[in-house]
Chains A and B, each alone.
Chain A
Amino acid sequence: MIGWYEANLVLIEATFLNFLLALSIQVPLRLGVFSFAGVGSYGLGAYTAAILTLRYDVPAFVAIGAAVLLAAVVGYLFSLLVARLNGLYLAMATIAFVLIIAVLATNGGELTGGANGLYGALSDLTTGGVVAVCVVVAVLLALTERGPLRRRIEAVREDPELSLSMGIGVVPMRQMAFAVSGALGACAGAMNALLRTTVSPEEINFHLIVLALTMVIIGGSRSWIGAFIGSVIFTWLPSVLASAGRWQDVVYGVIIILAAIFMPTGLLGLVQTLYQKLRGRRSAAVTAEAPADDTAEERALLQALGGESRGGVQ
């Protein structure tokens, strides 16, 4: 067991970092906002943490904390900039944001190390620290998936106009989503930079956007559990598929296409649907008699009433 853990430590860490990256896409998506800005924040966070560690030798939690804070502020400011955009246009603008971060990193001169990036950002961050951060994030997000906050989020995603008439501020909720997304993306990027001790501009590319989106779509876009499932699958799949040799990319592609077709609500959605069907069958068996009688009786009564009054009118 220890042997397996040591041998796969990089993948285990990557799973948790990918989990945070996936969440940075999922949080706005739960509010109906199609934003990839979290991937840009990943780059922003990675560079911020690496620069602080290299130049000022700050402890890991200070470097990560500063990266998270900065990206949250940038995410919020970015949301003001794209406030009038929606759907595909918003998605395009957020992709541009990711590319701008990559360009800034490449052309940042001494500060960002140019095309080579930064090396030797040694810190005291441990795998345990990464897991602890992920647990805290998961607990906080789980709280947004229940009770009044969940209802607000559902309302903002499904029907902004209804939300307004229910007294829910759609714009502040969306701005908050951008800030949270920025914080989550930066957290993933900062921890990745400190664990690997390096960061380079080519890490922040279109591939990372696709990976983040795929994890959320295949895992499930409504809950942190879905993001976790997605991050496990897409962190480990490439190494599992290594045996397929040069067909690896083809198999990978086919799996994604099949999943998109047959699991529109993601793996988590599929499991939930199956569970509800099983439970529904059981509870239907228990309560079948009483309500069935009631509704049949009620229907007959309503029909009689309706027929009679209509007849009377005519």
Chain B
Amino acid sequence: MTTTETAPPVLEAEDVAVHYGGIKAVDGFGLRLPAGRIYGILGPNGSGKSTFLAAVTRLVPLTRGRLLIDGEEYHTAPPTKLARRGLARTFQTVRLLPELTVLQNVQLGADLHAPGGRLRSWLGRDRPSEAVEEAIERTGLGDVRDAWPTELSYGMARRVEIARALASRPRLLLLDEPTAGMNHSERQEVSELMRKLRDEGLAQLIVEHDVQMMVDTCDHLVAMNSGTLVAEGSPQEVVSHPAVQEAYLGKRWRSHA
């Protein structure tokens, strides 16, 4: 693998298991995600990808295993503490607040770091912070900043979600199917943005169905099936792995890259 693997990982998941009664949604899965890298989790529906993300964001409790950000354990911390530790995420479905404008939705991401204490930010003028302006600009939302979420196309709405996550200035960004519902050029734009963010040192973990997008964007792929690791390595290695071909792609898949 590449040289950055020796750097301390931003996210470390060790032997993570999430069992619901007898169902082992995730069972002994782990990864080490260094800064400035994009990792992708590949797997068919029901393979445990989304449960793993939910476990990483502390929305479901671990049955077993350890989670660490920057070498510090957090698998017993409440989910509200994670944003302050630099973890931001987007969801599989669009989850914008319908009664707030695009700008206000993005501001929600930055409210975590409201300057001057809560009382001042409550009483004072509500000017968007630098992080908010930057997030809006980078995701190309300048023209729709005062629009309502219902007025946006699906692809646009997904970009607002990414902007909201970026506005919290995260060290680690989890993206759950970030390009679902986007057209080809929108996908490329998002892929390009992610690679730019990676070059600035942001660690990203993606769960995505679009294999081509994963191959184009990720530095490293992890394939999952039935809650466990099937294959791991460079995107090309993983998509051509026989077990992955069988479990996920169903037929021989050839990269278009």
Contacts and interface: CB of A to CB of B under 8 A. Distances in A.
A147 B121 contact: yes
A309 B98 CA distance: 35
Given A148-B111, A294-B143, 7 more contacts: A148-B114, A148-B126, A149-B122, A151-B104, A159-B97, A166-B108, A309-B188
A247 B123 CA distance: 49
B81 interface: yes
Contacts of A57: none
B114 A165 contact: no
A158 B97 CA distance: 7
Contacts of A159: 95, 97
A277 to B, nearest CB: 13
Contacts of A161: 59
Given A147-B121, A148-B111, A291-B143, A167 B82 contact: yes
Given A146-B126, A166-B112, A151 B84 contact: no
B184 interface: yes
Contacts of A147: 121-122, 124, 126
Contacts of A169: 80
B99 A154 contact: yes
Contact of B121 (A148, A166, A168, A309): A148
B256 interface: yes
Interface of B: 57, 59, 78-84, 88-89, 91, 95, 97-100, 104, 107-109, 111-112, 114, 118, 121-124, 126, 143, 168, 183-186, 188, 256
Contacts of B104: 151
A306 B84 CA distance: 39
Nearest to B212: A313
Contact of A306 (B100, B114, B122, B183): B183
Which interface residue of A148, A295, A305 has the most chain B CB atoms within 10 A? Answer: A148
B83 A165 contact: yes
Interface string A62-79: 000000000000000000
A291 B114 CA distance: 33
Contacts of B126: 146-148
A164 B89 CA distance: 11
Interface of A: 143, 146-149, 151-152, 154-155, 158-159, 161-162, 164-169, 222, 291, 294-295, 302, 305-306, 309-310, 313
Contacts of A149: 122
B79 to A, nearest CB: 4
16 contacts: A147-B121, A147-B126, A148-B122, A152-B108, A158-B98, A164-B78, A165-B57, A165-B59, A166-B83, A166-B111, A167-B84, A167-B112, A291-B143, A302-B183, A305-B184, A305-B185
A166 B98 contact: no
Contact of A310 (B108, B114, B184): B184
A165 B111 contact: no
A-B pairs, top 5 by smallest CB distance, nearest first, are A167-B83, A147-B126, A306-B184, A164-B79, A302-B185
Q: Main secondary structure on chain A at its contact with chain B? A: helix
A151 B107 contact: yes
A294 B144 CA distance: 13
Contacts of A310: 184
Contacts of B57: 165
B89 A313 contact: no
Contacts of A165: 57, 59, 79, 82-83, 88-89
A155 B81 contact: no
A275 to B, nearest CB: 14
A309 B184 contact: yes
Given A151-B107, A154-B99, A291-B143, A313 B183 contact: no
Which interface residue of A164, A168, A305, A310 has the most chain B CB atoms within 10 A? Answer: A164
Contacts of B123: 143
A275 B53 CA distance: 43
A207 to B, nearest CB: 31
Contacts of A158: 97-99
Contacts of B84: 167
